[in-house]
Structure 1
Amino acid sequence: MQKLIFSFLMALASLSAPLQASEPASTHANITQEVNDWLNTSLSNSPGAFSFELRPIVSRLKLDGCTQREISLPQGNRLVGNTMLRVKCIEGANWMFNLPVKISIQVQYAVAARPLAANQEISTGDIAMQQGDLATLPGSVILDPATAIGRALNSPVAAGQTLRQEQLRTAMAISQNQKVKIIFRQDGIEISNEGIAMNAAAEGQPVRVRLDKGKTITGTAQLGGIVDVGP
């Protein structure tokens, strides 16, 4: 009888052993490797050369067996500078923790090559490129100088100062009180006239024009002091 009971207990043990081994505790080393892989993939399309320092997982943190984990960037965090990643078990256990990381991205960014005045239209010679860490720069810093050429400044910029998107606007195609050429096109017929612009306008914006005898019309500003008037 005792031998029968012993055999029964051994059979139960052999059945339970595979179940326990199927969900081993999640190792810190495995999770760290997964986070490193996630960062390398996520940063692969960065505008410059990147590097990162991942803080080690706290050694006393106990992580029950997890067959699938999710790594994400918590809302409000940027994937640059001192930031935070979230590691969450989504299959096999119920835990989540945040992991600090420091990310550096070396980029070329635009600065003023010389003192620039308000309303000045930016040309190639007005821009110089410098190298720096994106983490220390404003989020709106200009990385592609071509996006600034032909636009106008809202306010003065000192030499060497970083150029940012919010400092620039579309350059005015027409100035207030400027003499303009009015063109009316319809059904292949073109009629032109002249007038005085009553407001400044960028290309594509509406502009009011005063004609002879005080009459006014509204058209669309174009480069070269031209106002298109539709049918």
Structure 2
Amino acid sequence: MRFIFPALIAISSACALAAPQNNDTLRREVEGWVQQQLSTSAAPATITVGEFDSRLRLAACARRDIQLAPGARLIGNTHVRVRCVEGASWAINLPVQINQNVSYYVAARPLPAGQVLSAADIQLQQGNLGQLPGSIVLDPSQALGRTLGTALASGALLRAEMLRAAIVIRQGQRVKLTVRMNGIDVSNEGAALNNATEGQLVRVRLLGNQIVQGTAMADGSVNATP
């Protein structure tokens, strides 16, 4: 009997490898993978993995690699690529629908180009992230204090590319210039030679026509290095 038992094991293993890959198992694995990828997202997601073609018969696979299909994003209607990396040689793209209900911002009223946005200018809405532009404003801090680059009708979507950082220093403005030397802050005053938003470089003319360049700060001052 000790000779027959190993033979039975070998036959059983060969039959198992010959069996086709279970398509339902693949769908569950893809759903689990997508859930894991979205586990850190603040918005809960509903995931629907598409059905396989009923005629599809994939060879049995001992180990699979799951990734987003090239060019796809984990949002809306997308595709996930499953590739067998052990036991067979095949790859397949599965359609996946991801629905995420998020809060986003729109214009609360008609807004002209050049408007510096305040809380009264924006309004909260709810919607499916997969049906919204990728640059939609989800956090009010992305919009408040920014300058609108184009006019918007009431209810129009706020998008990141529409917004510019507010100008904190204007050409000709008197500014405080601070230079740190040997651990000591030395302050002076001068006239700004250009407009600047926070973080941009600004040139400052001091008494005696000396010109110094520094970084514009949110409070309208300038920090420079010697």
Q: What is the deviation of 1:15?
A: 6.2
Query: Given the alignment, which residue of 188, 196, 205 partners 1:192?
Result: 188
Contact 2:178-2:185 within 8 A present in 1 as well: no
* Counterpart Cα distance in 2 of 1:191 and 1:92: 71
2:25 partner SS: helix
Q: What is the deviation of 1:94?
A: 1.4
Q: What is the deviation of 1:145?
A: 1.2
Contact 1:110-1:145 within 8 A present in 2 as well: yes
In the alignment, which residue of structure 2 is the partner of 1:102?
A: 97
Query: Given the alignment, which residue of 210, 222, 226 partners 1:227?
Result: 222
Aligned-residue identity in percent: 42
In the alignment, which residue of structure 2 is the partner of 1:34?
A: 29
* Counterpart Cα distance in 2 of 1:173 and 1:153: 15
Mapped pair 1:50 → 2:39: no
Higher-Rg structure is 1
Instruction: Provide closer, same or farther for how the CA distance between residues 65 and 156 of structure 1 changes in structure 2, counting only shifts above 3 A.
Output: same
Instruction: Provide closer, same or farther for how the CA distance between residues 174 and 96 of structure 1 changes in structure 2, counting only shifts above 3 A.
Output: same
Q: Which amino acid aligns with 1:99?
A: L
Q: Deviations over 1:131-164 (max 9, x none)?
A: 1111111111111112322222223333211111
Contact 2:106-2:122 within 8 A present in 1 as well: yes
In the alignment, which residue of structure 2 is the partner of 1:139?
A: 134
**RMSD over aligned Cα, in angstroms?**
2.7
Q: Deviations over 1:3-53 (max 9, x none)?
A: xxxxxxx89974642232342321222222222222222233334232133
Instruction: Provide closer, same or farther for how the CA distance between residues 189 and 127 of structure 1 changes in structure 2, counting only shifts above 3 A.
Output: closer
Matches within 5 A, 1:203-218: 203-211=198-206, 216-218=211-213
Instruction: Provide closer, same or farther for how the CA distance between residues 198 and 64 of structure 1 changes in structure 2, counting only shifts above 3 A.
Output: same
Matches within 5 A, 1:119-198: 119-184=114-179, 186=181, 188=184, 190-195=186-191, 197-198=192-193
* Counterpart Cα distance in 1 of 2:55 and 2:141: 52
Q: What is the deviation of 1:112?
A: 1.6
Contact 1:201-1:207 within 8 A present in 2 as well: yes
In the alignment, which residue of structure 2 is the partner of 1:3?
A: none
* Counterpart Cα distance in 2 of 1:189 and 1:99: 61
Q: What TM-score does the superposition give when structure 2 sets the normalisation length?
A: 0.83
Unaligned runs of 5+ in 2: none
Q: What is the deviation of 1:106?
A: 1.1
In the alignment, which residue of structure 1 is the partner of 2:15?
A: 21
Contact 1:46-1:105 within 8 A present in 2 as well: no
* Counterpart Cα distance in 2 of 1:86 and 1:47: 25
* Count, aligned residues: 221
In the alignment, which residue of structure 1 is the partner of 2:197?
A: 202
